[in-house]
Structure formats: C-alpha cells, structure tokens
Amino acid sequence: MQSVAAALARLGDLAASPTVSRLANAFAAAGHELALVGGPVRDAFLDRETNDLDFTTDATPDQILAIVKPISDAHWDIGRAFGTIGAKIAGETVEVTTYRTDSYDKTTRKPDVVFGTSLDEDLLRRDFTVNAMALRLPQLTLVDPSGGVDDLLAKVLRTPSSPEISFGDDPLRMMRAVRFTAVLGFSLDAATGEALAQMAESIRMISAERVCEELSKLLRSATPRAGLELMVECGLAALVLPELPALRLEVDEHHHHKDVYQHTLTVVEQAIDYEISRGNLDSPDLIVRLAALFHDVGKPATRRLEPGGVVSFYHHDMVGAKLARKRLRALRFDNDTINAVAVLIELHLRFFGYTEGTWTDSAVRRYVRDAGDQLERLHILTRADVTTRNRRKADRLGFAYDDLERRIAELAEKEQLDAVRPDLDGEAIMGILGISPGRDVGEAYRYLLEQRLDDGPLGVEEATRRLQAWWAGREV
C-alpha cells in the first residue's frame, strides 16, 4: 500500500503523461471539468499497474466528442447512450463519461441514464468507496466524498451509499464485491457482508451473461480462492454455481474420503501455479481454471458407501463432464470453452492408471489422441489434482507423470504424435477398396486409425495389406 503522498506523486506522473495532459488541457480550454476516476486512482494507492484510463466530466456526449476529435487518432461513440465516448490519444485508449445520477428500474434492474452536473454526486452512485475516488485535472485535486482512502488503508470493501440501496440498484455489484475481495485481498465491512447474504437471492434478476462475465473475471484473477469461498458463504454460489457448495460432502470421522470442496479449491490454486510455471499457455487461462473448478462436480451424485466403509465415486468423471456442460451452458459460456472443459473433466482420471503399470506405446498414443488440442491443459489439471499430504505418494505420482510426458515427447518426435492419422486417407481407401463415399469409408478409416495407434506408423504398403485383409474378413 502506497502512502497518500506517494500515491498522489504517482498520479501526478500519470497526469503529466502525453495522453492525460493533452486531454486535460483540451477540456480546460473548452471550459469543462475533467477528472480521472475509479480504478487508476485506486491502483495508485495500491501500487498496482492499471491498463484503463477512465475519465468523467460535466460535458455532454456531444461536447466530449467535439473536444476529443481534434486531439485523437481515432474516436468512437458506441457507449454514447450511456454518456461514454472512447478515443485513442497519443497511442492510448481512453473513455470519457458524462457525470451521471442514474435511477434504476426495480423490476428489470436496468438504469435510467440521467446525466448530472456534480462530480461528488457521480462518485456517490458508484459501487464501492475504493472505486469512488477521482483526481481533478489539471488541478491534481483528490476528490474522495465517501472515505475511499481510509477504506483502502484499512483494506475494507464498503459501498458509498447503504449496501441495501447499492445492491438493490444493481445486484451484480454483489458479484463484484466477491471479485474485489479476491483481487484486492480486502474484506467486506460488516454491513456490506450482511446485506450480501440477505440479498443474494436478487442475483436471479441479473442476466446469465453478466454473471458469467464477473465469474470469469474472478477466475482470471491471481488468487480467486477467497472470492469463491465468499460466494459459497454468502449464498451466491448456491444460486449461480450450485455445484460448488454441493461439494461440501460430509466427511466421516475416519476420513474415508477427503474434503472434496477444500480439495477443489486447492486444485484451482495449484492449476494456476502450474499454468504460470510451465509457461506453455497464455495466462490467465480460463479453460484450465474452469476445468479445475468443475473437475469433481460429479462426486456428490456418484458417492457410494462400499463394504468396509470405503467411499467410492465411480464414473464421477463422466457424470461431472455432463454437469459441467449443463452449468456452463446455463451461464452462457461459448461452445468452444464448454467442450474443452468437458473433455478435460472426462480425461482427468485417465493418468492414474499409468501408475499401476507401464503403459504401452498404444496407450500413450490414445492418451494424446483423446486429449487433442487440450493436452497441455490436461497435463496441468492432472498434476494439480494431486493434493495428498503424503509426500511419498505425491512424489510417486509426480515422477510417474514426468515419465509419461517424457514418453509423449519421445513418441511425438519419432511419429509426429500431435497429428496422428492413418497411413491412408479417405481417397486412398476408396481407391484401394473400389468403394464410393459412405459409411464403409468411415469404418475403414477408423480401423486404420486403431492400427496406427496400436503399432505406430505402418507405411502405405503395410497399411494397404491390413486394409485389404480387414475388408476381406468383413465381407465374409
């Protein structure tokens, strides 16, 4: 946390940048107020980098446009109805929004956009005090009507107005509260926490798309665990992500199975660590994190008490994949993300058979084939799924997976394993067998693929011989 003096100095440096100074001077020359607002001001106190430059002004959207046009490389007004004009100035993207004093339709929760004339009034309508600070430009005057600086220093998340009014205006702010506790490492003040629990049900009024966006932002953060735990504690998860609290299975006194809920949160943390340390994916990777979050959601439905008191979860991988598909679809995730997460969940147990005996090359090829373009994510999820405190067991599993990855690399170098295909394509199959396009071609192709997976590259001559023998036997 920066001191107030250090934060103001940092904001002064930002204000002196070509983009901000050019914009501030243009608004001052036009006789209008301008203030840097929200995240950039907050992050100056937290000593965090910020990528957004958001400004607010007493100028109307038409006036904003007239001011930024002469000094911008490009400009756009897609947010004009909400008072926002975007522009690129000195190579940086900025957004400038007219002061607002919105009122909300309590049925649809859509704001009735009303433009205001006061910076203080604009700030007091915002979600949290730490986001309700502004720096007047070019004066470099800090404006903090609701005590955001004090809350930053105390690491407390609080609403500028009463939380009942704030969350009632826009229930999505409850999801934002969850996200900010994780991203900033802050705790909720008592009144905000109580309102969050009492008003959780109102999240049902928010579209799935907006909830999905907030959940995705939470999972992309560096430390989402605290936010996920708060979602469960306050009741939001039961409404938007019920599979997560359902993982809190009763753990018997003899510990016949681990705490699935805590295990899942640990897997999410470890998956993030592997994602970053391996460096083979663009981080943050939402698919890895969703797969880690959902990988065991099939356990509650498949939990069985076996003779001798042992608890089993047979087929929880397949059941979990179906449940994940259903939930992610309800949250309006895109199909590519849904399919990738489902594949990872279906395959996340496959490796554990590797420790029971050395896999054949055929088994390794099938592992790679079934993972497809999700192989690196499967490596991460499988490694992250090891949360045992037994050091010997953890090491054994780690060494086994090291060995599997080594064999995959060796086979890939020798056989181009990342693109396993039969030695004969469809055209060649039709020519050799004298058949037309249809089901028979597909069956022949699959037969040759199985041969390829079992025995590696065959060559055209051997593949042709096997194909003809298979076809002759099939006709009998």
What pLDDT is recorded for position 257? 52
- Pairwise CA distance, residues 333 & 208, whole Å: 9
Q: Assess whether pLDDT exceeds 80 at residue 408.
A: yes
Overall average pLDDT of the 276-303 stretch: 94
Where does the chain hold its CATH 1.10.110.30 domain(s)? Answer: 155-241
Q: Assess whether pLDDT exceeds 70 at residue 180.
A: yes
Overall average pLDDT of the 241-251 stretch: 87
Token pair of 48 as six digits? 């965090």
- Pairwise CA distance, residues 240 & 289, whole Å: 17
- Pairwise CA distance, residues 74 & 57, whole Å: 20
The side-by-side arrangement of strands in the sheet containing 141-143 is: 74-76, 84-89, 92-98, 54-57, 34-37, 134-137, 141-143
Where does the chain hold its CATH 3.30.460.10 domain(s)? Answer: 1-151
Where does the chain hold its CATH 1.10.3210 domain(s)? Answer: 242-419
How far does the chain reach from its first CA to its final CA, in angstroms? 79
What pLDDT is recorded for position 310? 80
Q: Assess whether pLDDT exceeds 50 at residue 244.
A: yes
Q: Is the pTM of this model over 0.85?
A: no
Q: Assess whether pLDDT exceeds 70 at residue 291.
A: yes
What pLDDT is recorded for position 246? 95
Cα angle vertex 140, ends 137, 142, to 5°? 105
Contact 41, 104 (CB under 8 A): no
What pLDDT is recorded for position 165? 92
Query: What CATH code is assigned to 155-241?
Result: 1.10.110.30
What pLDDT is recorded for position 412? 79
What pLDDT is recorded for position 411? 82
Q: Assess whether pLDDT exceeds 70 at residue 356.
A: no
Q: Please, which pLDDT band fits residue 258 given cuts at 50, 70 and 90? A: low
Contact 85, 125 (CB under 8 A): no
3-state secondary structure the chain: CCCHHHHHHHHHHHHCCHHHHHHHHHHHHCCCCEEEECHHHHHHHHCCCCCCCEEEECCCHHHHHHHHHHHCCEEECCCHHHCEEEEEECCEEEEEEECECCEECCCCCCEECCECCCHHHHHHCCCCHHHCCEEEECCCEEECCCCHHHHHHHCEECCCCCHHHHHHHCCHHHHHHHHHHHHHCCEECHHHHHHHHHHHHHHHHCCHHHHHHHHHHHHHCCCCHHHHHHHHHHCHHHHHCCCCHHHCCCCCCCCCCCCHHHHHHHHHHHHHHHHHHHCCCCCCCHHHHHHHHHCCCCHHHHCEECCCCCEECCCHHHHHHHHHHHHHHHCCCCHHHHHHHHHHHHHCCHHHHHHHCCCCHHHHHHHHHHHHHHHHHHHHHHHHCCCCCCHHHHHHHHHHHHHHHHHHHHHHHHHCHHHCCCCCCHHHHHHHHCCCCCHHHHHHHHHHHHHHHHHCCCCHHHHHHHHHHHHHHHHC
φ and ψ of 331, to 5 deg: -85, 0
- Segment 207-211 long-range contacts (CB within 8 Å, at least 24 positions apart): 208/330, 208/331, 208/332, 209/332, 210/172, 211/172, 211/175, 211/240, 211/331
Return the minimum-mean-pLDDT range out of 355-359, 387-391, 394-398. 355-359
Q: Assess whether pLDDT exceeds 70 at residue 281.
A: yes
Q: Please, which pLDDT band fits residue 254 given cuts at 50, 70 and 90? A: very low
What pLDDT is recorded for position 255? 47
Q: Convert the pLDDT of each residue in 105-126 to its tens digit.
A: 656 556 667 788 899 999 999 9
Q: In angstroms, what CA-CA distances link 232 with 93, 114, 172, 236?
A: 37, 35, 16, 6
Q: Convert the pLDDT of each residue in 183-232 to its tens digit.
A: 999 999 999 999 999 999 999 999 999 999 999 999 999 999 999 999 99
- Pairwise CA distance, residues 11 & 115, whole Å: 27
What pLDDT is recorded for position 106? 59
Q: Assess whether pLDDT exceeds 50 at residue 339.
A: yes
Q: Assess whether pLDDT exceeds 60 at residue 418.
A: no
Contact 147, 127 (CB under 8 A): no
Q: Assess whether pLDDT exceeds 60 at residue 272.
A: yes
- Pairwise CA distance, residues 24 & 134, whole Å: 14
What pLDDT is recorded for position 359? 82
**Nearest by Cα to 179 from 203, 146, 157, 207:** 157
User: How high does pLDDT run on average in the chain?
Assistant: 89
Q: In angstroms, what CA-CA distances link 172 with 99, 169, 178?
A: 21, 9, 10
Query: Who contacts 2 (Cβ-Cβ below 8 Å, separation ≥6)?
Result: 10, 44, 45, 46, 47
The position carrying tokens 């605290």 is 226
Q: Convert the pLDDT of each residue in 66-105 to its tens digit.
A: 999 999 999 998 888 889 999 999 999 999 999 987 656 6
Given CATH 1.10.3210, say whether it is the number of domain 242-419: yes
Overall average pLDDT of the 364-369 stretch: 88
Q: Please, which pLDDT band fits residue 373 given cuts at 50, 70 and 90? A: very high
**Under the phi-then-psi rule, with left for phi > 0, alpha for psi from -120 to 50, and beta for the rest, what region is 95?**
beta
- Highest-pLDDT range among 209-218, 358-367, 416-425: 209-218
What CATH class does 1-151 carry?
alpha beta
Q: Assess whether pLDDT exceeds 50 at residue 252.
A: no
